[in-house]
Structure 1
Amino acid sequence: MVEMKGKVALITGAGQGIGHGVARAMAQAGAKVMLAGRTYDKVALAAQAIVAEGGEAQALACDVCNAEQIDAAVEATCSAFGGIDILVNNAQQVPLGKLDDVTDEAFTAGFESGPLATFRLMKRVQPVMAARGGGTIFNFTSSAGIRWDMTGYGAYAAVKQATRALTRAAAAEWGRAGVRVLTIAPHGESPGLKGWIEHNPAEAEAFFRTIPLGRIGRLEEDIGRALVALCGTDLGYLTGATIPLDGGQANFD
């Protein structure tokens, strides 16, 4: 695994699921990790688990829909660890359902927690990274954005496709400062996905048949360690791309 000693990562939505898996993988590689989430007790327990495994981690409460809390999270991370080299924009509220059923409030919450929070965090962190000689930003999307049948996924797809556009723009504008920006499209064993499988067994069965590797990704081993590898110098020429970590299911070409 890539050596990350001396690197600092700020990870949103890190109390469980993919965010926690990424935090664990980065801590095991030697990075100092700041776990951010809306529920402090949850991220605090997650950070304690990492420390118990020998990693260096702290936790803070941050609702990514709140611009002031975003600023405070960046400042607290820089104060605790001296800067930020990696940003993982993982937190997201998901507006699922047919268009007639998705409320304005749910749609707005999807954009506030997704593209708008990503936009704010990237802009806040970019100068910190540039001052340290560069860094890596990971934004998250979903193959829902490229489904042939968008029924029930239109609002969610709109949110995630907006995030992909922001990644492309940030990669183009900040590359000369050494800041790389990548979009990740994962299938991970998160509580959200497990809940979806439980409530949609028939669709879930069909979903599994479309994954060439035949399984959902493991949070730390398949998703977290892939992000660690993407932070390494061997992949330092890669930016602006959407990278599927989904067992070969989606075609983003």
Structure 2
Amino acid sequence: MSDLSGRTAIVVGASRGLGHGIATALAQAGAPVVAVSRTPAEFPDAGVGSVRTEIADAGDPRVAADLLDRHSPEVIVVVAGSVPHMRPLQQQTWETFSANWESDVRIAFHWLREVLLTPLRPGSRVVVFSSGAALNADGSPLSGGYAGAKATQRYITAYAQGESRAAGLDITFTSVLPRFAPSTGVGRPAVEAYAARAGLEVDDFLRHHAPLLTPEITGKAVVDLVQADAVDVAPAYVLNGTGLHALS
């Protein structure tokens, strides 16, 4: 996987934020990239690779099956999900509380299932983005079911790795749990809500979490991950401003 030229990568949730940074970095590393999102996205100066956009609902299981059949990718990165409703428990409704289960977990489930059913060719890599919130002892108390949903994404990615191993598919699955990325559509509302709860200005709150994660750092980390030897890839990583850190 050290050379990504000619190795198609699908990035699910590529229109903005971390997904956009990942799609751009993979293209710059030479991969033909299929950028999947609900809304159009622009990728100027993508580099030696190319970026083709596919406007689609990643939560529709037919989309995963169709795109895998049409593009035969060797790299899949699932970043898509919804922005959590930043309110304490008593100010949530069941619909807002469960939103990330109905989007993030559903998307991961459909794509992992289709990867195993297709299956992707031996040596392929699948990276699912969870969240550092899944590791917090108290979850993420201002974001409804977000932390639980992101933990479940990590679990089912591990389940998929077990099925790949049992079937001798030679597909490597790993999950990435990013910390605060305040420039993104998910990260900024979370930062603002938790800063307000702590009685801090946003800048003061962020100083406690430096160095901060950016789409550019994320893109480089994913390129490094999919280029690494499969035997060296951990089941899960925390990702922060200093890069990837393997979880035991």
TM-score class, shorter = 0.7 to 0.9
1:144 to partner: Cα distance: 1.3
The yes-or-no answer on 1:5 pairing with 2:5 is: yes
Q: Deviation per CA, 1:157-191, whole angstroms, max 9, x where unpaired?
A: 11001101101111111133111111111243323
Q: Pick from 115, 128, 132: which aligns with 1:125?
A: 115
Task: Calculate the TM-score normalised by the size of structure 1.
Answer: 0.81
Q: How many angstroms apart in 2 are the aligned matches of 1:179 and 1:251?
A: 19
Question: Match of 1:66?
Answer: 60
Correspondences of 1:85-164 after superposition (within 5 Å): 85-96=74-85, 97-128=87-118, 130=120, 132-150=121-139, 151-164=141-154
Correspondences of 1:158-197 after superposition (within 5 Å): 158-175=148-165, 176-187=168-179, 188=181, 189-197=183-191
Question: Match of 1:29?
Answer: 29
Amino acid at match of 2:169: A
Counterparts in 2 of 1:191 and 1:240: CA distance versus 1, 3 Å: same
Question: Match of 1:231?
Answer: 226
8 Å CA contact 2:12–2:77 kept in 1: the answer is: yes
Moved more, 148-157 or 23-32: 148-157
Q: How many angstroms apart in 1 are the aligned matches of 2:60 and 2:112?
A: 14
Q: CA RMSD in A?
A: 2.8
Aligned to 1:120, what secondary structure does the other structure show?
helix
1:219 to partner: Cα distance: 1.2
Counterparts in 2 of 1:28 and 1:107: CA distance versus 1, 3 Å: same
Amino acid at match of 2:240: D
Question: Match of 1:215?
Answer: 211
Amino acid at match of 2:132: S
Q: How many angstroms apart in 2 are the aligned matches of 1:235 and 1:144?
A: 28
Amino acid at match of 1:90: V
How many pairs align? 237
Counterparts in 2 of 1:113 and 1:239: CA distance versus 1, 3 Å: farther
Q: How many angstroms apart in 2 are the aligned matches of 1:133 and 1:13?
A: 24
Moved more, 107-116 or 24-33: 107-116
Q: Pick from 233, 236, 239: which aligns with 1:242?
A: 236
8 Å CA contact 1:84–1:128 kept in 2: the answer is: no
1:113 to partner: Cα distance: 1.5
8 Å CA contact 2:104–2:150 kept in 1: the answer is: yes
8 Å CA contact 1:9–1:33 kept in 2: the answer is: yes
Gaps of 5+ in 2: none
Aligned to 1:191, what secondary structure does the other structure show?
coil
Aligned to 2:10, what secondary structure does the other structure show?
strand
Amino acid at match of 2:69: E
Counterparts in 2 of 1:204 and 1:241: CA distance versus 1, 3 Å: farther
1:37 to partner: Cα distance: 0.5
Q: How many angstroms apart in 2 are the aligned matches of 1:4 and 1:236?
A: 14
Q: How many angstroms apart in 1 are the aligned matches of 2:223 and 2:13?
A: 17
8 Å CA contact 2:99–2:145 kept in 1: the answer is: no
Q: Deviation per CA, 1:18-61, whole angstroms, max 9, x where unpaired?
A: 1010011111111110001011xx23x23xx255x443111111
1:73 to partner: Cα distance: 3.2
Task: Calculate the TM-score normalised by the size of structure 2.
Answer: 0.83
Counterparts in 2 of 1:56 and 1:65: CA distance versus 1, 3 Å: same
Gaps of 5+ in 1: none
Q: 1 or 2, which has the higher helix percentage?
A: 1
Q: How many angstroms apart in 2 are the aligned matches of 1:196 and 1:102?
A: 15
Counterparts in 2 of 1:192 and 1:109: CA distance versus 1, 3 Å: closer
